[in-house]
Chains A and B, each alone.
Chain A
Amino acid sequence: MSYSVGRLDKLVEKNRVHRDVYTNPEVFDLEMERLWGRAWVYVGHESQVSQAGEFITTSIGTEPVVLSRDKFGQVHVLYNRCGHKGAKVAAHKTGKTSMFRCPYHGWSYHLDGKLNVVPHDRGYDDTGFDREDPQFSMQPVARVASHRGFVFASLAGDGPDLKTFLGATIATIDNMCDRSPVGKVEVVGSSLPYMHDCNWKMFIENLNDAVHPMVAHASVGHATRKVVDGLPEGAPTPGEAEIISPFGGSYEFFDSLGCRTMPFGHSFMGGKGSIHSSYSEIPGYMESMVASYGQKKVDEILSQNRHNTTVYPSFTLKDAVQVARVCRPIAVDKTLIESWHFRLVGAPEEMLHRTITYSRLINSPASMVGPDDWDCYERMQNSLQSESAHWVDMRRFIGQEKLEGDVTVSPGTSDQASRNQYKAWSAYMTGEVA
């Protein structure tokens, strides 16, 4: 690698970053090793492997992995690699099996990754072959931990524990679960994948970039208003319009939400209010919540309303909408974004319908919101090749941060979320403790 630590250090300044962080394949490879290879990365939700033998396949950075549940109920995250010749063992996105079996030479593994059967194994007699040697297994990743069913893994043996890592973002996960009358959420169905022609960080930075919605999403805001204004007088506002309209919110609206940043690169907008605050009530939901928690506690739960909690680098959650998006880097200019949808267990099914409608309108590759973001990312990815300038600016509202414990509060349209991400990025990339 020609990228020395000293040179990596020079890619990030306090108010700008060098274009190489988005465009240089060597930097991408180093990110996979130093950042994605060390951080806690979201893998999946326990409800996706609720029964023994169930598994899903995904990736941590560019490492293919399997999330499985063994017959004792234990959840594992394994490298999806045969201990024999290295072939990917599980190819299906989801499945249920009594063991993993490599389709090449038939080596099989238990759901915890331990070697089960090697066909015709007398060929290994007196060869020093040790079936207990981890290299002949589907190896577990270094660390796995979960919070309320959300499973994260780290490829590094050392580092902060999951709770420390999640910090203030843990309240977003808790709030989403608490919005269920029984305090539980579960994944519904398959994911919504959306392939992006851009560096993964462009997506992550956009989540708490509040100076883009009123520009990039102006058209769908205008189109929605025009159609809604043409509805007969007294007609109720359609749910779709309640979802789309706030994307055209004013600068002042987003400033008032505020942006909160915290250690390890995480951030969220809002807190007591967000672009999801003014949704209509769904019949039966309040009743089921009050029956479980009592009015006072319900008011407290529903008053938390965060927009795009970002758990850097892999995961973003909307607690009030019950949608998660997972960032999966594929190459320096290729990123897969997967949306996952959660049911509030015990709540009226209409709550799930709203979650689904939201994701279709905002996250789908065929929505009228996602494609405008997509296009702007791709424009950056392309035009950052230009020799006219080599730096990308992020100085909005710099110096106006206020500290509240280990949470930094800035106006909503500040670039602070991006600056905070690069602070963590530098720490990971130069080998300091993040």
Chain B
Amino acid sequence: MLTASKNEASDLREIEAFLYREADLLDAGNLRAWRDLFTEDGTYWLPISPDQDDPLGHISIIYEDKMMMAIRAENFGHRLAASMQYAVRSSHIVANTRLQERSADGSEIVVKSNFQAVIYYRTQSVYAGTCTHKLRREESDWRIVQKRVDLINCDADHKSIVIYI
């Protein structure tokens, strides 16, 4: 449980700014710079069922570490990929940001936000749900230990999803 802190409001502003920067990099399709926001042990998780608690023993839509993020960055827009011969444009709106947990020394936090992402890839699709970012302060900035994206339609019959949401 989050303990009240007089710095909470300013912390939240700083964290929001970080989340906007992260969303911006996805919207720009800059997967290399986006990947750099993660810690070395960082992961991105797009579960397939609501309240899924296990990324290893149950299927997910995406569960990737930094190596897989590097492969995806190399593959994104690759001239030999049939699926990549189309524009991929997205627009994220991040809101309702709230701090969920903070470690005693303040170096690790869990922050939840709601989002809507409109992604134009062949046709326009709307994705919405909740993000849970586990962030760690490394040097002077935050880094992502895990970004978990819970889509409200996580268990729907999806067509191809070619970029992180």
User: Which chain A residues have a beta carbon within 8 Å of chain B's beta carbons?
Assistant: 188-197, 215-216, 218-220, 222-224, 226-227, 230-231, 238, 240, 244, 336, 339, 341, 349, 352-353, 356, 359-360, 364-366, 368, 370-372, 374-376, 379
Flag whether B94 is at the interface (Cβ < 8 A).
no
Q: Mark B35-64, 1 if CB is under 8 A from A, else 0.
A: 000000000001011000000111111110
Flag whether B95 is at the interface (Cβ < 8 A).
no
Is the Cβ of A366 less than 8 Å from the Cβ of B67?
no
Nearest-neighbor residue (CB-CB) of B72 within chain A? A368
Contacts of B2 in A (CB 8 A): none
**Which 9 pairs show the lowest CB-CB distances between chains A and B?**
A223-B74, A219-B78, A219-B81, A371-B160, A371-B83, A375-B82, A366-B161, A223-B75, A195-B157
Give Cα distance in the complex from A219 to B72, angstroms: 10
Report the minimal beta-carbon distance from B82 to chain A, rounded to whole angstroms: 4
Interface residues of B in 68-110 (CB under 8 A from A): 68, 70-72, 74-75, 78-85
- Which listed residue (B59, B63, B157, B159) contacts A341, Cβ 8 A? B59
Is the Cβ of B62 less than 8 Å from the Cβ of A364?
yes
Contacts of B61 in A (CB 8 A): 192, 360, 364-366
Contacts of B63 in A (CB 8 A): 360
Is the Cβ of A223 less than 8 Å from the Cβ of B71?
yes
Query: How many chain B residues have a CB neighbour from A under 8 Å?
Result: 34
How many A-B residue pairs lie within 8 Å, measured between CB atoms? 116
Is the Cβ of B155 less than 8 Å from the Cβ of A190?
yes
Flag whether B158 is at the interface (Cβ < 8 A).
yes
Flag whether B162 is at the interface (Cβ < 8 A).
yes
Is the Cβ of A349 less than 8 Å from the Cβ of B75?
no
Contacts of A191 in B (CB 8 A): 59
Given A240-B67, A360-B60, answer yes or no on A218-B80 (Cβ-Cβ < 8 Å). Answer: yes
Known: A195-B158, A360-B63. 19 other contacts (CB 8 A): A190-B155, A193-B155, A193-B157, A195-B159, A196-B159, A219-B79, A219-B80, A220-B78, A220-B81, A222-B74, A223-B72, A223-B74, A223-B75, A223-B78, A238-B67, A336-B157, A368-B75, A372-B81, A372-B82
Nearest-neighbor residue (CB-CB) of B164 within chain A? A366
Is the Cβ of B71 less than 8 Å from the Cβ of A224?
yes
Report the minimal beta-carbon distance from A236 to chain B, rounded to whole angstroms: 12
Contacts of A339 in B (CB 8 A): 59
Report the minimal beta-carbon distance from A303 to chain B, rounded to whole angstroms: 28
A contact face: mostly helix, strand, loop, or mixed: helix
Is the Cβ of A374 less than 8 Å from the Cβ of B157?
no
Give Cα distance in the complex from A366 to B104, angstroms: 37
Give Cα distance in the complex from A188 to B49, angstroms: 13
Give Cα distance in the complex from A238 to B68, angstroms: 10
Give Cα distance in the complex from A226 to B78, angstroms: 13
Contacts of B48 in A (CB 8 A): 190, 192
User: Which chain B residues have a beta carbon within 8 Å of chain A's beta carbons?
Assistant: 46, 48-49, 56-63, 67-68, 70-72, 74-75, 78-85, 155-162
Is the Cβ of B159 less than 8 Å from the Cβ of A197?
yes
Interface centre among B70, B72, B82, B155 (most CB of A within 10 A): B82
Is the Cβ of A366 less than 8 Å from the Cβ of B162?
yes
Nearest-neighbor residue (CB-CB) of A354 within chain B? B56
Contacts of A196 in B (CB 8 A): 159
Given A368-B72, A371-B160, answer yes or no on A352-B78 (Cβ-Cβ < 8 Å). Answer: no
Contacts of B78 in A (CB 8 A): 219-220, 222-223
Is the Cβ of B155 less than 8 Å from the Cβ of A375?
no
Contacts of A365 in B (CB 8 A): 61, 158-161
Give Cα distance in the complex from A195 to B62, angstroms: 16
Q: Could you list 8 A-B pairs, sorted by A, with CB under 8 Å?
A: A190-B155, A194-B158, A223-B71, A240-B67, A356-B57, A360-B62, A365-B61, A375-B83
